[in-house]
Amino acid sequence: MSDEDDIILSELDDEELVAQMFDDLYDGLKEEIEEGVNILLEREWAPYDILTKALVGGMTIVGHDFRDGILFVPEVLLAANAMKGGMAILKPLLAETGAPRVGKMVIGTVKGDIHDIGKNLVGMMMEGAGFEVVDLGINNAVEAYLEAMEAEGPDILGMSALLTTTMPYMKVVIDTMVEQGIRDDYIVLVGGAPLNEEFGKAIGADAYCRDAAVAVETAKEWMGRKHNSMQSA
Amino acid sequence: MTNPFIDLLAQKGTLLADGATGTNLFNMGLMSGDAPELWNTDEPAKITTLYKGAVDAGSDLFLTNSFGANASRLKLHGAEKRVHELARVSAELARNVADKAERKVIVAGSVGPTGEIMEPVGTLSHALAVEMFHEAADGLKAGGADIGWLETISAPEEYRAAAEGFALAGLPWCGTMSFDTAGRTMMGLTSEGMVDMVDGLENAPLAFGANCGTGASDLLRTVLGFAAKDPARPIIAKGNAGIPKYHDGHIHYDGTPELMGDYAVMARDCGASVIGGCCGTMPAHLAVMRDRLDSTEKGEAPSLDQIVAALGDFSSAGDGTGEDVAPKRERRGRRRS
């Protein structure tokens, strides 16, 4: 591309810069995203505004196009990686300024299941949407989920299974949560190739998420409901 | 160059491959989370039973129990040093079953994905992936496999790496991908894209196609996509026996043997010449598929509507081929090159 086509980020006004960052996230341009975040910080944007308006806004477009079959996993991974670059700059500042948290999720594949690409994708997309994600990795017994929920205090529990033989274990985890009287303290989302909505309902999850983009939208929606119910309580 | 697989295909016109490996082994008591490949040495009698199930049901070709026999997958079970051994034994057990059969049966050495995402998007390098596939292919060849059989691949990069691994091992091969995301592979490749990719390989497979994915209808749409490109090689169709359903604490696939019989005949009409099942496909399904393929002649390729009427709905409206391409987002113009 010729020099004439180069866009100098620092010469754009705020609105144009944010629009450009949407495009750069879409294209997975990490350095450009980092530069954009730094420029907005210099312009005294609040870290929380940069996160929600520039980064999460851009990743929402990526998520929609992934859901609609326009983008696929490779593009989404590159976008999430660019987002991560921006988040690395913002994270300490968000903590300092006491910004409200978008939400926190504990996620892992269930006992017996070692297939983790889907779970990793959800984790990356959730981080891309501004959520804090605690990844328990693969092959988690009910105890591992319970300990992590106790230690981390997440809003959301995410469970993933790729095998028809492992998906019933999700019900074991949910049943144990019910027994211990903590089921309603968490939003429980489930996903994985062989699952469907009917299965999610049958085992007592709050929602089944068809793919990583749907997981993000569902998580946001349930976080919204949670806030509303807390306000009315 | 002559090869038993090509010879048998030329002789019979259509080959019946096998069905599920995992579904069968779980029914024999394999626990979720355990590596099925460890049973090659721990439970050889059960693996022999698995193989015999396919052969006795009439399969012309069956896959070895070595899908996860690569360094990356076996590492999850602390068995990454046993790749060659477990691959070899899976093929030796298979060779034994095939050689005892009264008809010619092909042993196809299964090679599944590494489970890693390749560079530049992920972390697995091309060189390391080639090495992993080479190691698995070497073991399968040493155990007497007639051909290598790559399956359930999503990324073209990984398919290419496997082609090189098979070349280094000197093992002729076939390779299928899974089209499970809106009619494309998880990494976005269309059926048409796969034909182009396969045509461009230096060590091209003997046959190529689709396996697993989301139900028999989707798989046949993918086969029609291959056939529309008039590919130079035979097409493989290995679809799941319907869709998994949850009933009273256990899972079963909703595809009946009769449905899989319809699927087999339609797969041949769509242009596939190596036809089998994948998840949920048991010997009872294979027997009906064998019978239906033998008792009918190849017919006209079905329309998409006819596929839906016979086998059920597609999982997505389109599959990214032909005119059916979703519009890319309007861009502001990329900066920097």
The distance in angstroms from the start CA to the end CA of chain B is 46
Rounded to the nearest angstrom, the minimum Cα separation between B249 and chain A is 6
Q: Does A185 touch chain B (CB under 8 A)?
A: no
Strands B272-277, B15-16: pairing is parallel
The predicted structure's pLDDT at residue B332 = 60
The predicted structure's pLDDT at residue A149 = 97
CB pairs under 8 A between A and B: 104
The chain-wide mean pLDDT, for chain B, equals: 92
pTM of the model: 0.87
pLDDT in tens, B120-152: 888 899 999 999 999 999 999 999 999 999 999
Q: Which of B186, B246, B254, B332 to mutate to test the interface with A (most CBs of A within 10 A)?
A: B246
Q: Does B227 touch chain A (CB under 8 A)?
A: no
| Contacts for B298-302: CB closer than 8 Å, 24+ residues apart | B298/B14, B298/B268, B298/B269, B299/B265, B299/B269, B300/B269, B301/B224, B301/B227, B301/B269, B301/B270, B301/B271, B302/B220, B302/B266, B302/B269, B302/B270
Contacts of A36 (CB under 8 A, 6+ apart): A9, A17, A20, A21, A24, A54, A86
Does the structure show a pLDDT above 70 at A215?
A: yes
Nearest by CB: A112 against B32, B243, B279: B32
pLDDT in tens, B304-324: 999 999 998 998 888 988 765
Residues B246 and B302: their CA atoms lie apart, in Å, by: 31
User: Is B270 labeled as ligand-binding?
Assistant: no
Three-class DSSP category at A58: helix
Q: Specify which residues A156 forms β-bridges with.
A: A105, A187
Top-level class of domain B4-311: alpha beta
Q: What is the DSSP string of B233-286?
A: S-EEEEE-SS-EEEETTEEEE---HHHHHHHHHHHHHHTEEEEEE-TT--HHHH
The predicted structure's pLDDT at residue A1 = 45
Contacts of B223 (CB under 8 A, 6+ apart): B191, B209, B210, B235, B237, B267, B270, B271, B272
The predicted structure's pLDDT at residue A233 = 46
How do the domains of chain A map onto residue ranges?
A: 9-96, 104-232
Question: What ipTM was estimated for this complex?
Answer: 0.76
Q: Does A73 touch chain B (CB under 8 A)?
A: yes
Task: Tell me if B141 sits within 8 A of B90, measured CB to CB.
Answer: no
Q: Does A139 touch chain B (CB under 8 A)?
A: yes
Residues B242 and B284: their CA atoms lie apart, in Å, by: 14
SS3 content of chain B, % helix, strand, coil (to 5): 45, 15, 40
Name the closest residue on chain A to residue B326, using Cα atoms: A70
Architecture of domain A104-232: 3-Layer(aba) Sandwich (3.40)
Alpha-carbon A75 to chain mean position: 16
Task: Tell me if B39 sits within 8 A of B46, measured CB to CB.
Answer: yes
What is the phi-psi region of residue A109: left when phi exceeds 0, alpha when psi lies from -120 to 50, beta otherwise? beta
Name the closest residue on chain B to residue A16, using Cα atoms: B332
- Domain A9-96: which topology? 1.10.1240
